[in-house]
Structure 1
Amino acid sequence: MKISLFSLLLSHLSLEEAIVLCKEIGYDGIELWGKEPHISADTPMSRVKQIRTLLDDNEIDLVAIGSYLGGFSTKSDMECQREFEQLEKYLDIMQVLKCNMIRVSPGGPNGFLAHKYHYEKSLYWMAKCADLAKKYNVRLVMEIHNGSLIETVDAAKAYVEQLNRDNVGLIHDAGNMYITDTDFGKESVDTLGNKIFHVHVKDEIRINDDSLPGAFHSQTIYGDEIFQQKFLGEGAVDHIPLLTALLENKYDGYLSIECHAAASGEERAKREFVAINKLIEAAKNKTNK
């Protein structure tokens, strides 16, 4: 497993500054935040070529683009078509960047609030996106996320099976899955298997006070709940079972740091790099016993 940084953490920096910082800290790769000033579907090709050179010069792998495309289940046909056209623009950019993975959202609402038509519309457009992406040799990844059609392990598995496209997989995100109260350890890895294309890493905790730094509300099966974003090891998300299972299943992709704890982006990037390496080492020790 290698470690990357989702550049959203450094959204206040230019991409040049973010990539250099990743290199200085020791990250193997970067997942690009799909908004300017980092990358978007409208980034000029001249700039795209500069980004590729910047990555090469700093010997940083481009893991994926964390776009905000999709959300098909609750959009109009015209809006869905625009999303599809934006994806095509991204796919052209990705050929120059030599990047083969992009995040696309199936949409919401929460699975327990969704209706049959939400799934039907989402699957229709995701299939179109997958078939287009395949022509470019690009994989689409959908993040297991609270508030979406695939917020649980079972829902995510069912969705990708029904979609039935070999270039579409999942982003395993234990932090999101903790919020949804779905398994994010060994069982989740065994169930999702080779459909785990990418992994996001962050920590959260349930709280009762939304005035605390990093606090936010989320609708869950239990109602309106409050959560706080934390540094790895300081919240309620135990990543050791996940990392151990990934090692046992010979996962060879990236762990992408996505910490939103109340601190500067630079501090989060540095602290989480140290923390995830300690967790990986602990998981290796557990695997070798």
Structure 2
Amino acid sequence: MNRNRIGVCTLSFRMLELEPALDEIKALGCTGVDLWQVSPYYDNHGHVASDAPASDVDRVKTLLGDRDLHLIHLASYPGMKFRGASEDERQADIAWGKATIDLCSRLASPIMRCLPGPGERLDELDSLVESMQVLADYAATRGIKLVFETHGSGPIMQTESIQLILDGVARDNVGLLYDPGNLAANALYRKIPQAFADRIVHVHLKSVDLGGGAKAIAWADPDGGAVDFDWVLNALNDIGYDGAFAIEYENYQASCTVEEVRTGVQSWVDFLATR
């Protein structure tokens, strides 16, 4: 695989500030960056905020440019209040989404992630659809695509729910971030590529160890865990996917170190280099 298609999510190096995190990504030989947004869902931690002053945004652009890195995706969080919330909360979330789209435009990030609301049940679909249509139309004026990430803790895990959402929103600039590791349980990840061949616009790579039927810990060894990544890469090749891949080392144990992340991501870089 061409290394220009391989990136790393800065969430992997969440224990570092942005500059040393980008140094790590550069040293690993990757060129793409998934940038982790500051959000209340991580106690307001992250590497860039949607309300960042112009000087902070310029600094991010300089840090990327000095290392010959480019943004491939903003790992952002608007959308949790698009369902199951008050109207005031929903409107505030839409406003946050627009501000995040503006941030993507300022940073030249082509893709932005949205959340589909809480829980696995697809209640209040109309509210989600209406909210996403507002954001999609706003994003379209800036040439930005919005994606839902396939995830085992929300409605973007079953093909039926995904289809209902995408059909409801009915916008060409809304698609999927395919994360097979999030759908490792019961091999749900195998259902996505063919079903949504023309809607996958970004991919996350992480291997997961399943314990007791649930995701126990995410880790970066592509040859282990519950996902057959050779199958994943072949399936994506079969549907003509030619976009980027972002390695996401998502170990939330307090003992996780920079060296552990570095070693884990390197195993992915080596794996992809032979494919």
- List alignment gaps of at least 5 residues for structure 2: 39-44
Q: What is the letter of the counterpart of residue 240 of structure 2?
A: K
The 3 A distance-change label for structure 1 pair 65 and 266 is farther
- Does 1:89 pair with 2:78? no
- Does 1:128 pair with 2:134? yes
- Whether the aligned pair in 2 keeps the contact of 1:119 and 1:149 (CA below 8 Å) is no
1:70 aligned to which of 79, 83, 93? 79
Question: 1:4: which partner in 2?
Answer: 7
Deviations along 1:101-120, one digit per CA (max 9) or x if unpaired, are: 11111113113xx43xx212
Question: 2:189: which partner in 1?
Answer: 184
State the 1:260 CA deviation: 2.0
Distance 1:226 1:182 in 2: 12
1:58 aligned to which of 67, 70, 86? 67
Q: Runs of 4+ in structure 1 displaced over 6 angstroms?
A: none
What are the equivalent positions in structure 2 for 1:1-289 lying under 5 Å apart?
2-35=5-38, 36-71=45-80, 72-111=82-121, 114-115=122-123, 118-179=124-185, 181=186, 183-185=188-190, 187-208=191-212, 225=214, 227-232=216-221, 233-261=223-251, 263-279=256-272, 281=274, 284=275
- Whether the aligned pair in 1 keeps the contact of 2:219 and 2:264 (CA below 8 Å) is no
State the 1:130 CA deviation: 0.8
SS at match of 1:193: coil
Alignment: residue pair count: 261
Distance 2:46 2:246 in 1: 20
SS at match of 1:31: strand
The 3 A distance-change label for structure 1 pair 13 and 228 is closer
Question: 2:42: which partner in 1?
Answer: none
> With structure 2 as the length reference, what TM-score do the two structures score?
0.87
> With structure 1 as the length reference, what TM-score do the two structures score?
0.83
- List alignment gaps of at least 5 residues for structure 1: 209-221, 285-289
Q: What is the letter of the counterpart of residue 184 of structure 1?
A: Y
Question: 1:211: which partner in 2?
Answer: none
Question: 1:217: which partner in 2?
Answer: none
SS at match of 1:183: helix
- Whether the aligned pair in 2 keeps the contact of 1:207 and 1:227 (CA below 8 Å) is yes
- Whether the aligned pair in 1 keeps the contact of 2:146 and 2:173 (CA below 8 Å) is yes
SS at match of 1:73: coil
Q: What is the letter of the counterpart of residue 70 of structure 2?
A: D
Distance 1:171 1:188 in 2: 11
Q: What is the letter of the counterpart of residue 240 of structure 1?
A: D
The 3 A distance-change label for structure 1 pair 188 and 32 is same
State the 1:274 CA deviation: 2.6
Distance 1:26 1:226 in 2: 29
Deviations along 1:68-101, one digit per CA (max 9) or x if unpaired, are: 1111112211111111111222222222211121
- Whether the aligned pair in 1 keeps the contact of 2:34 and 2:246 (CA below 8 Å) is yes
The 3 A distance-change label for structure 1 pair 8 and 128 is same
Q: Between Structure 1 and Structure 2, which shows a larger proportion of strand residues?
A: 1
- Whether the aligned pair in 2 keeps the contact of 1:203 and 1:234 (CA below 8 Å) is yes
Distance 1:104 1:265 in 2: 28
Deviations along 1:208-261, one digit per CA (max 9) or x if unpaired, are: 4xxxxxxxxxxxxx8xx4623333223111111110111233312111111223
State the 1:144 CA deviation: 0.9
- Whether the aligned pair in 2 keeps the contact of 1:141 and 1:170 (CA below 8 Å) is yes
SS at match of 2:156: coil
Report the identity percentage.
Answer: 28
SS at match of 1:13: coil
